[in-house]
Chains A and B, each alone.
Chain A
Amino acid sequence: MNKNEQIRKYLDGELTGEELKNFETEINNSPELKNLVDSYRDTLNQFKKIENVNSEESYFINIVPRFHESMRNKKRLKLKPAFAFSSIALVLTSILLVFILNKDNQVINPVHEISSEELSSYLKSNPQDYYEMQLTESVPQEYDSLFNSIFFNELNIDDNSGKYLVDVTGNEFYNILDEISDEDAESIYSSLISKKIY
């Protein structure tokens, strides 16, 4: 057993019988060893004194209430993410609902589901929209005049007749159609089918 272990055992009270007796004799015969052991014992005594020191009671009285307070705060904090999550979910659901409802309102029936009567009625009530859409929106403006000149050229008609034709095919077409009698219509039809255009 080395000296340090012997000193530790002695200070810890682990030496008994012959071992204890021999070590005590050694201490008494060696002032150096005695000083060393005394200095260790003194250190231990100093630390032992701080085992029970008088301390502020108010601090210890408040430990448990503070603990419960922090527990309550933690529970409150736990609720916050749940609240935030449900708020976000609510907002997203609202946006989704608005989107779905608007989408339902904007559904356009496919053309094949529209009856010919409905189409005819629509075209009669909105001729301007129809022609404007057909002649101005679907045809790029730069091709419009070119198209007109080719068209008039092919039909061998002058500018004034062309303008009239455009007007007729535009706003007044259906009004004129309504004013033509059955005999006139028959006459126009007969002259048209007998006329050789090409």
Chain B
Amino acid sequence: MTEKDNDYNLIERFNNGDESAFNELARKYQQRIYWHARRMTGNHLDADEIVQEVLLVMYRKIKTFNFRSSLYTWIYTITTTRSINYIKRRSLKQIFSLHDVESDQRSGTDLVTEIENKEEVKRLEKFLQYIPAKQREVFILRAIDGLSYKEIAEITGRSEGGLKSNYFHALRKLTEMMSNE
């Protein structure tokens, strides 16, 4: 059974009133949702809130999902939109000087268990926060999650040409920052 068929069966079961099917779907995608949100926002607490919001949207809207795209593309779209909303909110807080203290407190929670990875993740997440959100979004989806430009275009609603350009700008900026570290 392909991933798409499996998702289809779970959605069918959920639509017929089987709540456990939703739990299976949530467990299947929760890590992808969390890590995408975490890389986009750069901190655990925002990512945690986004996970809960995305699950809520899935729970309420999955009945309308029509399988024109894959389920994970749809979930990535929701996660990306929510993440960008959080980033915008944070930018506003920065403007009004509410963010500095809070961000330090918020980024404290760390789920990464291996100490070596923990430092590496923290370091790379920090670099990601220095590039514009649109470039960050493409870079994460392409370089870390390994999605194709076609899939990223579906998620973001942008042209593949524009995405390729954003991706390379992000790669160049990150490389420059890392070489000057």
Measured CB to CB, the residues of A under 8 A from B are 4-5, 7-8, 11-12, 39-40, 42-44, 46-51, 53-56, 59-60, 63-64, 66-67, 70-71
Q: Is the CB of B55 within 8 A of A63?
A: yes
Among A7, A43, A60, the one with the most B-chain Cβ atoms within 10 Å of its Cβ is A43
Check if B121 sits within 8 Å of A50, measured CB to CB.
yes
Task: Tell whether B51 is near chain A: CB-to-CB under 8 Å.
Answer: yes
Contacts of A5 in B (CB 8 A): 164, 168
Task: Please choose the segment from B3-11, B62-70, B170-178 that sits at the chain A interface, where 4 or more of its residues have CB less than 8 A away.
Answer: B170-178
C-alpha spacing A47/B52, complex, angstroms: 26
Residues of B within 8 A of A47 (CB): 124, 139, 143-144, 174
Contact B144–A39 (Cβ < 8 Å): no
Assembled-state Cα–Cα distance A64/B171 (Å): 35
Q: Return chain A residues, CB-CB under 8 Å to B114.
A: 53-54
Chain B residues near A48: list those with CB within 8 A.
143-144
Instruction: Report whether A40 and B175 are in contact in the complex, using a CB–CB cutoff of 8 Å.
Output: yes
Range, interface on chain B: 20 to 34
CA of A47 to CA of B35 in the docked complex: distance in angstroms?
13
Q: Please report whether the interface of chain A is mostly helix, strand, loop or mixed according to DSSP.
A: helix
Asked if B92 is at the interface (CB within 8 A of a chain A CB), the reply is no
Q: Which residues of B contact A71 (CB under 8 A)?
A: 56, 59
A51 and B146 contacting across the interface, CB-CB below 8 Å: yes
Q: Give every chain B residue within 8 A of A8 (Cβ-Cβ).
A: 164, 167-168, 171
Is B121 touching A39 in the complex (CB atoms < 8 A)?
no
Cβ of A7 to closest chain B Cβ, rounded Å: 7
* Chain B contacts to A: CB under 8 angstroms: 23, 26-27, 30-31, 34, 51-52, 55-56, 59, 111-114, 117, 120-121, 124, 139, 143-146, 164, 167-168, 171-172, 174-175, 178-179
**Given A44, A46, A63, which contacts B51 in the complex, CB threshold below 8 Å?**
A63
Q: Which residues in A have their C-beta under 8 angstroms from that of B59?
A: 67, 71
Which A residue's beta carbon lies closest to that of B24? A64
A55/B113 in contact, CB under 8 A: yes
Q: What B residues does A54 contact at CB under 8 A?
A: 112-114, 117
For residue A60, which residues in chain B have a CB less than 8 angstroms away from its CB?
Answer: 27, 30-31, 34
Cβ-closest chain A residue relative to B26: A64
Q: A12-B164, A67-B59 are in contact. List 20 more A-B contacts (CB 8 A).
A: A4-B168, A5-B164, A8-B167, A39-B179, A40-B171, A42-B175, A43-B171, A43-B178, A47-B139, A47-B174, A48-B144, A50-B124, A53-B112, A54-B114, A54-B117, A55-B31, A55-B113, A60-B30, A60-B31, A63-B34
